Structure 1
Amino acid sequence: MLKKLIPSIDWLGHYNKNDLRGDLSAGLIVAIMLIPQGMAYAMLAGLPPVIGLYASTIPLIIYALFGSSRQLAVGPVAMVSLLVFTGVSQLAKPGTDEYIAYALLLALMVGVIQLVLGLSRLGFLVNFLSHSVISGFTSAAAIIIGLSQLKNLLGIDIPKGSIFVIISNAIMKVNEINMVTFLIGLGSIIILILLKKMAPKFPAPLVVVVLGILVVRFLQLDQVGVKIVGDIPNGIPAFSIPMFNIEAITALLPIALTISFVSFMESVAVAKSIANKEKYKINANQELNGLGLANIFGSFFSAFPVTGGFSRTAVNYQAGARTGLASIITAVLIFITLQFFTGLFYFLPQAVLAAIIMVAVYGLIDAKEAVHLFKVKKADGWTLLITFIATLTLGIEQGILVGIGVSLLLFIWRSAYPHIAELGYLSDQNVFKNVKYYPNAKTYENLLIYRIDASLYFANMAFVEEKLQQAILEKANINKVILDFSGVNSMDAIALDELTKIIEGYKKSNIEFYIAGIKQPVYELFRKAGLDKKYKGKIDFLSVDQAL
């Protein structure tokens, strides 16, 4: 029982010394990668860079102890950082003490929501965020994130707002661009892209960070308008209790719920992909527990919301991580950096951090998925596109709500208009198939065989009745109908009452109904309603063939 609550007991108690080399290597490489990324994503969230380093310590250790993935690299990520900025900037000015307090409260709220969902075994709720919604939302958010960094890349002041406001302001202020800042940012982007292609395992962010610091330091570029990170407080994060304000909690609840679901989806997706390769299982509810506790504990040590990141997890895995010890090593190395080496980042240009963010989120834009969905299932393609456009034009929170709404409406529409097929007999293969696709299938002059391929409930019975009526009217000599229920997994009481009315109604027209292939849960409903006796000998057939 304890092992289920704390999965790390298993690998800590039976740690294989042969795994230590891989864990050490992965821990070091991810730390090197996470230090500049953590600062960049904190800046994206509207927080001081040091908060990004704080978020890369305690949460990593807690997740390593309580999470079910052995390779997931938890920490600040671009998507969550943007969501933090979107939610908290409505309550306070970014960078202020009040803003930081709200961000820490948000981390606590996200953690509590995730932990409650995990302990309640409600991980399945995230399934209501369809893949098409997540893909459209992620692609749009990536563009918003990239554009939000234009001000740091170009060295000009651009007021926050929609993408149209950002683009129009950037165009209007093109003559104010600080060319030195722009060249530093552009050069960093080129280096990051080249190193990603030529040496994917190499910590490219560290290279541009070191080069950026050296160039600014020795050429004194901060004197010509290049904005730098400046002083970063040294020392490990101190324990503090997040502020507790009912009004703030109420205001932050929508964004907290959004972060809870989106970050969990991102985390589980990458964790499962690695777990499948390593032949072990990910427990969705335990992942919620691990991420929830990581955010709860993190909020008491000045960390903003964290989750598992795609790129860092891939690097962690490729670098040889075998257990959660790799993440603990990463956290220890960042603790050491906080204690002794924060002064090294004083001259780090903000343009370099902007470049790191832009290159990182570029990979989140997935045009191929949109093309694929439109090719395979247009309805899902439209869901993706509507979510994408809504997120770009209306905003982050509104975009994902629109996507969820469209996805649920599509689900309701599909369930209200289920697939129904008239069946005919293929003698050479001894099967009954849809006559629409198999026109050679044998049909019967006075008999209609109809298959319903969906669960029946109050909202779709009218459609079923309409289709039945249409099919019966098309055949003048019909006096028998066989309903194939092999595709009906469940029914509600209203649907059963409606079905009974249909059967009794057609009995007056001398048309008898027979039902074949009723599954046991559905048959139990018939039995409770007394229909097993009322229609004895008419609903007990195991197959259409037997009914014939």
Structure 2
Amino acid sequence: MPKALFRYLPILSWARVYTRDTATSDLVAAVIVTIMLIPQSLAYALLAGLPPEMGLYASILPLVAYAIFGTSRALAVGPVAVVSLMTATAIGQLGLSTPGDIALAAITLAFLSGVFLTLIGILKLGFLANFLSHPVIAGFITASGVLIAASQLKHILGIDAGGHTLVELGISIARHIEDTNPITLGIGVSATAFLFWVRKGLKPLLRKAGLGPRLADILAKAGPVAAVAVTTLAAWAFGLGEHGVRLVGAVPTGLPPLSAPSFDLSMWRTLLLPAVLISIIGFVESVSVAQTLAAKRRQRIDPDQELIGLGTSNIASALSGGFPVTGGFSRSVVNFDAGAETPAAGAYTAVGIAIATLLLTPLLFFLPQATLAATIIVAVLSLVDLSILKKTWEYSRVDFAAVSATIVLTLLVGVEVGVSAGVLLSIVLHLYKTSKPHVAEVGLVPGTQHFRNVLRHKVDTLPGVLTLRVDESLYFANARFLEDYVLGRVADCENLDHVVLMFPAVNEVDHSALETLEELNRRLAEQGITLHLTEVKGPVMDRLQRSHFLHDLSGRVFLSQYDAWCALKPGASEGAEKKGVAAQ
């Protein structure tokens, strides 16, 4: 088969070596993830402001699509908290009121996200996600976790409240706090406390009772299912719906319907930017999880193919009545810990969810919405990591400012502004940090051939020679800084004959930087100062050789800084003609 086919269809690689033992491991993992995913899918649909069945629909075909096109052996795709919140925010901008229109908007959003992810995957643009700094993403996810938890308090209290920011939610909840339903509050608080206890306390308790580690783990993961079952039974038995407890209500039975997105251009214009933001955040979260899990088994993933895997998953979600999906952290870790060997575990999970939509949905009629809200709150609070503020404050004030701005904007202005600010801040931070490259004057460590910063080590320097080590690639944003820095240092030195630029950390010299080096060479020559380069990397040297710079260079290119030291020290014979030395 052509290599390109294996490149775009990773299933062809692992399916050839699929065995009965592997299938057994995948089936066991699928059972555990299915148990976990059913209440999560319902809860995240509720968070997105959508009918609960759409959460189930978004957990069937997307898993199958990822099994075909994805490269991670353990990633579990489906609805996740942050993307669900962003979906609710995006649809809210449209001002829709009918359930059918809202569902169609969610389907369209998933389609747009899928097309965008697939296209940048085909074009191999996955590297663009590298411009998002981890602290900024951590800040956005932390703020989103707080916002999501706050948005679910209305379901815990049984009141009407709304808002897209923390302030709006707080004001709205305060205005309606008197309408709190005591029974709903009791269900919500009890379910939340139970789920928090299940996360930490149930598994050790089951192990003490003599259960094996695998069975204890399965039962602990089934905690949300137990909360759903008990509260649903209580609502049915005691007729809690008649006492003001809000229930999920009728959930359609059957497999996902074949759906199509809207092709209304005005809707596309409104949803395009949210779709791009959802795609970026979803991809970063998904790839981070996939790479972490792959590293534990000494496996690798292909980020560009992951874009295609996530893109086709979202397109599949749109075609089956779902909403935007991505790789979820909690369910992927569960999938990994449960022993999933291949993406087939996701396909088996899809079968389990499909069976649930066929047989179990009538049982969800009496499920209290407070229970689903408790499930969301417990899940998202694990995303909140305020320690990132302390870490960045101690390590980098610039990163701290970016994280703080992202958190504050997300909480006080909204999700889209927060994530947009995070993306912009990530790019600005990169440009800021590289626009002022570290440049150090270096000297020879006595008794060695090593050169170090004169401000940090006791070193020897040569009279009439200024040696500067450039610790960053040179491009349009920092080229002028280097020129000003060198000329400033030259102005401070007396009786200077040579300037040596060390390039051991320079991996790139773009055309703007080349012009700067040419200008620097000319201005130094006018002052009677010779410019030399040392330790130029091969790819950089190749480019310089394609220009006139080396021909016009007033000095030489040395293989190592020690060679330059020996050639330029007093008494050394430099020869009458200038010659270039091949770079490393």
C-alpha contact 1:112 1:292 (8 A) present in aligned 2: yes
Per-residue deviation, 1:94: 5.9
8 Å CA contact 2:148, 2:377 repeated in 1: yes
1:378-417: per-residue Cα shift (whole Å, max 9, x none)? 2222211111111111211111111222222222222221
Post-superposition offset of 1:256: 0.4
Q: Which amino acid aligns with 1:381?
A: F
| Corresponding residue of 2:185 | 182
Q: Show the counterpart of 2:408.
A: 389
Structure 1 residue 333 displacement after superposition: 1.6
Q: Which residue of 2 aligns with 1:412?
A: 431
Query: For 1:149, which of 145, 148, 152 is the aligned residue?
Result: 152
Residue 8 (1) aligns with residue 39 (2)? no
1:376 aligned residue: 395
Q: Which consecutive unaligned segments of at least 5 residues does structure 1 have? A: none
Structure 2 Cα separation of the partners of residues 458 and 97 of structure 1: 51
Task: Kindly provide the amino acid, as one letter, of the partner of residue 273 in structure 1.
Answer: T
How far has the Cα of 1:446 moved from its partner? 1.8
Letter in 2 for 1:183: G
Query: Higher mean Cα deviation, 527-536 or 338-347?
Result: 527-536
* 1:458 corresponding residue in structure 2: 476
Matched, 1:212 2:231: yes
Structure 1 distance, partners of 2:133, 2:71, is 23
- Paired position in structure 1 for 2:39: 36
The alignment-based identity, stated in percent, is 38
Report the alpha carbon displacement of residue 95 of structure 1 after superposing the two structures with TM. Answer: 6.1
Q: How does 1:272-421 map to 2 (within 5 A)?
A: 272-421=291-440
Rounded Cα–Cα distance in structure 1 between residues aligned with 2:511 and 2:303: 33
* AA at the equivalent of 2:246: K
In the alignment, residue 495 of structure 1 is paired with which amino acid? Answer: A
> Which whole-Å deviations, capped at 9, do the CAs of 1:137-165 have from their partners, x for residues lacking one?
11111111111111111111113242112
CA distance in 2, matches of 1:470, 1:195: 64
Q: Is the contact between residue 48 and residue 95 of structure 1 (CA under 8 Å) also seen in structure 2?
A: no
Residues 512-531 of structure 1 mapped to structure 2, 5 A cutoff: 512-531=530-549
> Cα 1:469–1:534, aligned 2, differ >3 Å: closer, same or farther?
closer
- Match of 2:526? 508
Residue from 38, 54, 59 that aligns with 2:62: 59
How much has 1:309 moved relative to structure 2? 0.6
Give the SS at the match of 1:173: helix
Change (3 A) 1:496 1:65: closer
Q: Provide the alpha-carbon RMSD of the alignment.
A: 1.7
AA aligned to 1:216 is A
- How many residue pairs get aligned? The number is 546
Task: For 1:534 and 1:447, locate their aligned partners in 2 and report how far apart those are by CA, in whole Å.
Answer: 20
Once the 2 structures are TM-superposed, how far is the Cα of residue 259 of structure 1 from its aligned partner?
A: 0.9
Q: For 2:524 and 2:411, how far apart are their aligned partners in 1?
A: 53
Separation in 1, partners of 2:15, 2:503:
52
Given residue 449 of structure 1, which amino acid in structure 2 is its aligned partner? T
Residue identity opposite 1:478 in structure 2? L
Range that drifts further, 14-23 or 265-274: 14-23
Distance 1:264 1:95, change over 3 A: farther
Equivalent position of 2:261 in the other structure: 242
Distance across 1 between alignment mates of 2:189 and 2:76: 28
- Is 2:130 the counterpart of 1:111? no
- Distance in 2 (CA, whole Å) between partners of 1:29 and 1:99 is 32
SS where residue 442 of structure 2 aligns? strand
Tell me if structure 2 keeps the 8 A contact 1:47–1:95. no
Alignment of 1:543 with 2:546, yes or no, is no
Give the AA of the match of 2:17. Answer: H
Q: Which runs of 5+ in 2 are unaligned?
A: 204-216, 566-584
The residue that corresponds to 2:450 in the other structure is: 431
In structure 2, distance between residues paired with 1:152 and 1:185? 8
**Per-residue displacement from partner, 1:337-363 (whole Å, max 9, x unpaired)?**
211221111110000000000000001
Which whole-Å CA distance do the structure 2 matches of 1:368 and 1:267 have between them? 22
Structure 1 pair 246/198, CA: closer, same or farther in 2 (3 Å)?
same
Paired residue secondary structure (1:321) = coil
